[in-house]
Amino acid sequence: MVTTNDEIEIIKKELRKKLPQYPAILLIGNTGVGKSTLGNWLLGHHGDNGPFETKASFDSVTLEPQTALIEINDCKYNLIDTPGLFDLKDDSKSEIALTKLANTINHCSYGIQTIIFVVKKSFGKEIDRRIQEIKGFLGEKSLDHMLIAFTHCNMDQTMDRKIMKDTFTPKMKDFLNRIDNRWIISPNPDLFNLDDDIVYTNIYEAKDIIGSFPEAYTTEMFNRVRRAREDAEKEARQHAQEERMRCFEEELAKISGAVNSAGRIRAKKEAQDACFSLDTVVTLKDGRKIEMSDVKIGDHVACGVYNNAGNKELRYSEVYLIAHLDKHQQTEFLKVEYIKPDGMTGSLYLTSEHHVFIDNAFDYARNIRPHTSQIHVLENGESISVKVTNVSKETRKGYIAIFTRVGTIIANDVFCSCYSNCPPYQNTIHYILSPIRFITLFRKSNYYGNEIHPYLKFLYNNYQYFSGAFKYKLC
Ligand SMILES: Nc1nc2c(ncn2[C@@H]2O[C@H](COP(=O)(O)OP(=O)(O)OP(=O)(O)O)[C@@H](O)[C@H]2O)c(=O)[nH]1
Ligand SMILES: [Mg+2]
């Protein structure tokens, strides 16, 4: 539905103000067919000179539902003149009108006595489509409360019902039979006056039909139809989304299939070059500190510090991918040691190709220089810059790499990238990973392999290919 919440609220407010508690008579139909004119005739005014505004115009004249009280056979009803339902030039306008009509109907708490479907006499070709739309929107049962009013009829057709009948197409005849031949002619206001017999006859006939319905069409009925329609729309949306996911997965399968065995070996080696030690500590949103090997998909881990109106606060981000994990493989790490201003020391084990925030930019861990390089560490909830005191090599068992949605992570209090291997262009890598971030919004990753994730493998291989093609050694 197109109408905004604000618009809906305004319509509801208006309707609450205007709708006394009587059953409703709805005037519906295409823009400019003569709904307001018929409303005026029914209210005892000349078609062009009554409470409902009428005008010859290409654009809709009645923009919001208008109501007036009408009495038929000692019963009171709210006569509701609605905006043009179907705009042949612009489907989105029809959707807005349908939304407004839905809101109107929802406020008809005493039910709908009659739906007067106002149509031009020439209306015939599109009857099937319009009736289907009305049935889809209001339900099949609404036809049991429907009255058709023909407009734009000439003098002869208006004066003689038989002449009018002869103009009906077989489809129109079928439809009129389906609604027990409840039809009238709304006289052309340019040809007839209020005191003309034929005006009286048609309006009398309309009122007779309206009064003849034993009970009003209730809004529960409409709500049932609306719920069914909304369910169908929801299913269609779900189906479309599943289809998109399926296509994406097919693409992913093709990509991983395309990775050749040489690529696999290289990717495996690179996997071992691109990670943290299993016992690296991260902070969860609830304040707990856990080892990286215990992190699960969906956990929110500290990934940085942000300034919230002058207060420094830890920022958390969801872990959406375990890029690779091996609990047994002997792996060579760099041990990066640092000292905080208060004299406390700390260290971080990560592979040489991993990206770390060094001297205010992301760079490979292998470029850290003891006594020179500055890294960022967490101190009392703030990120401070500290000097690295030592870098050494150490072989440890197992490795892990985890990806957060923002692409950074605080590991053993050190501000690091989640990425590695490719040149340390954080934003570029983050952008390239958008598809996998997107797909994992809908389907959680369950990848816990020791080889790097197939999508990353594909990226590594292509990166190698392009950097080789340009004979330019990027790393
Ligand atoms: N020729 C002819 N003109 C008519 C007839 N009924 C209404 N009109 C004219 O058609 C124009 C539009 O009529 P409205 O009653 O305002 O139409 P509407 O369906 O309420 O239009 P929107 O509110 O814009 O959807 C006016 O100028 C009317 O005088 C009819 O039966 N024949
Ligand atoms: Mg109107």
Q: What is the pLDDT of residues 133-184, one digit of tens each?
A: 778 777 888 899 999 999 999 999 999 999 999 999 888 898 899 999 999 9
- 23/126 same-domain check: yes
- 204/319 same-domain check: no
CATH number at residue 334: 2.170.16.10
Taking the alpha carbons at both ends of the chain, their separation in whole angstroms is 52
* 48 pocket-lining for ligand 1 (C-beta < 6 Å): yes
pLDDT at position 312 is 84
Domain boundary, last residue among 217, 232, 252: 217
Question: For residues 334 and 359, what is the distance between their CA atoms, to the nearest angstrom?
Answer: 18
Q: 462 lies in a domain?
A: no
Q: 36 lies in a domain?
A: yes
Quote the number of domains for the chain: 2
- 325/411 same-domain check: yes
Q: 247 lies in a domain?
A: no
pLDDT confidence band for 473 (50 / 70 / 90): very low
For residue 407, the one-letter residue type is G
* 61 pocket-lining for ligand 1 (C-beta < 6 Å): yes
* Pair 192, 34: CB distance under 8 Å: no
Q: 54 lies in a domain?
A: yes
Domain boundary, last residue among 198, 217, 236: 217
Q: What does pLDDT average to over the chain? A: 82
- 286/435 same-domain check: yes
* 149 pocket-lining for ligand 1 (C-beta < 6 Å): no
Token pair of 62, please? 């009645």
* Pair 124, 118: CB distance under 8 Å: no
pLDDT beyond 60 at 338 = yes
- Look up the pTM and report it: 0.51
CB atoms within 10 A of CB 470: 8
- 184/313 same-domain check: no
- 63/164 same-domain check: yes
Interval 288-317: pLDDT, tens: 999 999 999 999 999 999 877 778 889 999
- 205/354 same-domain check: no
- 290/141 same-domain check: no
Angle between helical axes of 434-442 and 219-258 (0-180°, round to 10): 140
Spatial CA neighbour of 352 closest among 339, 335, 338, 337: 335
Ligand 1 mean position, distance from CA 284 (Å):
67
pLDDT at position 38 is 97
Ligand 1 mean position, distance from CA 177 (Å):
26
Q: 253 lies in a domain?
A: no
* Protein residues placing their CB within 5 Å of the ion ligand 2: 35-36, 61-62
- 280/155 same-domain check: no
Domain boundary, last residue among 182, 217, 252: 217
Pocket test for ligand 1, best of 49, 54, 59, 118 (most atoms within 8 A of CB): 54
Q: 457 lies in a domain?
A: no
Ligand 2 mean position, distance from CA 367 (Å):
75
Ligand 1 mean position, distance from CA 195 (Å):
19
Q: 230 lies in a domain?
A: no
- 96/9 same-domain check: yes
pLDDT beyond 90 at 199 = yes
Q: 95 versus 87: which is more confidently predicted?
A: 95
CATH number at residue 152: 3.40.50.300
Ligand 2 mean position, distance from CA 115 (Å):
15
Spatial CA neighbour of 98 closest among 216, 1, 223: 1
- 324/210 same-domain check: no
**288 lies in which domain range?**
274-449
pLDDT at position 147 is 96
Q: 266 lies in a domain?
A: no
